[in-house]
């Protein structure tokens, strides 16, 4: 008898009929001889609706603690209804909130990290032959405060619970039937990958692929959780995320990701003094701003320029921080540019294959697009480029690296929020 964790996102349980279909799927797994723990997100647009409701009550930013109290109700609705649906099919089921499941977090409302899981209640219910339905996205501090885990929180909950109960498998059910070489909504010839390494999946997730959240992949890698991504709408084989994978002959790049929410900030005329870069990026880090690609020019007449990329939504906040340290840094000017995208290629085979980067630059240049910034690691290359023609760039790169295949059937739908 195997112990499995099954996670279903918001679109998978978006209405009563989908909820019943998910319950049937869970009961089938149980009757195959498995013990099942299910992690579920809020139904459909519930979270967005709750956020909108708070905006009707509060002018400005709502209190973080009360927002956590509000948003966690979405998952509580899901777990109660799903447990009822399972019971209607003749199986025992019990629903638990994050805190009832023993999920403890840091004291950081809105984006807490899991610090510990004490799954005693979950294991007792499993021993009682029940299907256990756990609310994703939520936990509790040591002081008893309810918290939420931020984006990707239900993925992270599922993987963390799987690690804590030593599950044989963690299944992430979503609105696509696996991990693709790129977004099938853009490239119809995108191929579904039968397997992918933790490291490749982590790079793709960090670079914009929305199938799995990076924190969930990190947790799976650290705890060696057997992970599979599959569709809740069909029974197709999914994609296995694992430590080592068999590299397909001739395929150096496994996937292409993109992020269309990119901006660039340039700080010009910075006097050459020790600690200038540290001062700027420390100030940005203190207000939790994520900075990605950093490029510094050569020093001319004692002055240097440097640029960095960041999410476009953070530009105004970053510019305010930089202006606040102008006197300390002594720079001449700060400029910003929006409307950029980051397109990235990822593949474990890149490290031992020359010419991979040259091909990427050549493909982009032949489209008449300039590369503004570049970032590399052993298994990825990212380019910051003008964002006016993203689909052309992604299609051209997908073809150039031999990733095109026969047109795949793609089950579309809204991305699962968590």
- Domain assignment of residue 324, given as a range: 256-400
The predicted pLDDT at position 411 comes to: 32
Q: Where would I find the H helices in 128-275?
A: 153-164, 198-206, 214-223
- Phi and psi dihedrals of 112, rounded to 5? -70, 150
Lowest-confidence pick of 30-34, 44-48, 206-210, 365-369: 206-210
Averaged pLDDT, 105-124:
95
**pLDDT, tens digit, for every residue of 227-238?**
999 998 899 999
Q: Which residue has the tokens 């409701």?
A: 53
* pLDDT above 50 for 414: no
The predicted pLDDT at position 296 comes to: 87
Q: Residue 65 belongs to a domain with what CATH number?
A: 3.40.1160.10
Are 242 and 271 part of one and the same domain?
Answer: no
How far apart CA 33 and CA 219 sit, in angstroms, is: 27
CA distances, 225 to each of 172, 193, 197, 418 (Å): 12, 19, 12, 19
How far apart CA 31 and CA 26 sit, in angstroms, is: 9
C-alpha 230: how far from chain center: 16
Whether 417 is covered by a domain: the verdict is no
How far apart CA 323 and CA 333 sit, in angstroms, is: 9
Are 18 and 40 part of one and the same domain?
Answer: yes
Tally of CA atoms within 13 A in the half-sphere of 289 that contains its CB:
26
Are 223 and 341 part of one and the same domain?
Answer: no
Q: Where would I find the H helices in 89-228?
A: 120-127, 153-164, 198-206, 214-223
Are 240 and 261 part of one and the same domain?
Answer: no
Q: Residue 389 belongs to a domain with what CATH number?
A: 3.30.2130.10
What tokens were used for 173? 């059910």
Strands 380-386 and 239-242: unpaired
Predicted confidence band at 247 (pLDDT cuts at 50, 70, 90)?
Answer: low
**pLDDT, tens digit, for every residue of 162-173?**
999 999 999 999
**pLDDT, tens digit, for every residue of 74-109?**
999 999 999 999 999 999 999 999 999 999 999 999
Predicted confidence band at 55 (pLDDT cuts at 50, 70, 90)?
Answer: very high
Are 48 and 188 part of one and the same domain?
Answer: yes
Maximum mean pLDDT: which of 86-90, 261-265, 287-291 = 86-90
How far apart CA 270 and CA 266 sit, in angstroms, is: 10
Are 322 and 200 part of one and the same domain?
Answer: no
Whether 93 is covered by a domain: the verdict is yes
- Residues 105, 112 contacting (CB under 8 angstroms): yes
How far apart CA 132 and CA 125 sit, in angstroms, is: 7
How far apart CA 387 and CA 342 sit, in angstroms, is: 8
Residue partners of 97: CB distance under 8 A and separation at least 6: 72, 75, 76, 79, 135, 138
Are 146 and 271 part of one and the same domain?
Answer: no
The whole model's pTM is what?
0.84
Residue 355: other Cβ atoms inside 10 A? 9
Averaged pLDDT, 263-289:
92
Are 198 and 264 part of one and the same domain?
Answer: no
Are 268 and 335 part of one and the same domain?
Answer: yes
The predicted pLDDT at position 248 comes to: 59
Provide the domain count of the chain: 2
């Amino acid at each position: 008898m195997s112990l499995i964790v099954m996670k279903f996102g918001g679109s998978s349980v978006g209405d009563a009929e989908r909820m019943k279909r998910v319950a049937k799927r869970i009961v089938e797994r149980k009757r195959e001889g498995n013990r099942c723990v299910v992690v579920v997100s809020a139904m459909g647009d519930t979270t967005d609706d709750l956020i909108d409701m708070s905006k009707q009550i509060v002018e400005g930013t709502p209190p973080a603690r009360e927002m956590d109290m509000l948003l966690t109700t979405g998952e509580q609705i899901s777990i109660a209804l799903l447990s009822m649906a399972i019971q209607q099919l003749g199986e025992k089921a019990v629903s638990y909130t994050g805190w009832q499941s023993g999920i403890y977090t840091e004291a950081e409302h809105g984006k807490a990290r899991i610090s510990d899981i004490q799954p005693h209640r979950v294991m007792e219910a499993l021993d009682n032959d029940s299907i256990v339905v756990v609310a994703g996205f939520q936990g509790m501090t040591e002081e008893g405060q309810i918290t939420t885990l931020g984006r990707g929180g239900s993925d992270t909950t599922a993987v963390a619970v799987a690690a804590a109960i030593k599950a044989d498998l963690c299944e992430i059910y979503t609105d696509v039937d696996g991990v693709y070489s790129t977004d099938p909504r853009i490239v119809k010839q995108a191929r579904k990958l039968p397997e992918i390494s933790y490291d490749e999946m982590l790079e793709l997730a960090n670079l914009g692929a929305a199938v799995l959240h990076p924190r969930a992949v990190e947790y799976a890698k650290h705890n060696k959780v057997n992970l599979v991504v599959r569709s809740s709408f069909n029974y197709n084989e999914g994609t296995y995320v694992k430590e080592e994978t068999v590299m397909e002959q001739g395929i150096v790049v496994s996937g292409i990701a993109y992020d269309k929410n990119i901006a660039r900030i340039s700080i010009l005329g910075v006097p050459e003094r020790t600690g200038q870069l540290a001062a700027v990026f420390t100030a940005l880090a203190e207000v939790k701003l994520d900075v990605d690609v950093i490029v510094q020019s050569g020093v001319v007449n004692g002055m240097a320029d440097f640029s960095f990329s960041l999410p476009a939504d953070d530009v105004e906040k970053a510019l305010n921080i930089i202006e606040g340290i102008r006197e300390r840094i002594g720079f001449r000017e700060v400029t910003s540019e929006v409307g950029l995208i980051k397109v990235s290629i990822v593949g474990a085979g890149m490290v031992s294959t020359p010419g991979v980067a040259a091909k990427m630059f050549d493909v982009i240049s032949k489209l008449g697009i300039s590369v503004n910034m570049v970032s590399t690691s052993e298994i990825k290359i990212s380019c910051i480029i003008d964002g006016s023609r993203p689909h052309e760039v992604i299609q051209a790169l997908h073809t150039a690296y031999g990733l095109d295949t026969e047109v795949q059937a793609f089950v579309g739908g809204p991305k699962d929020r968590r």
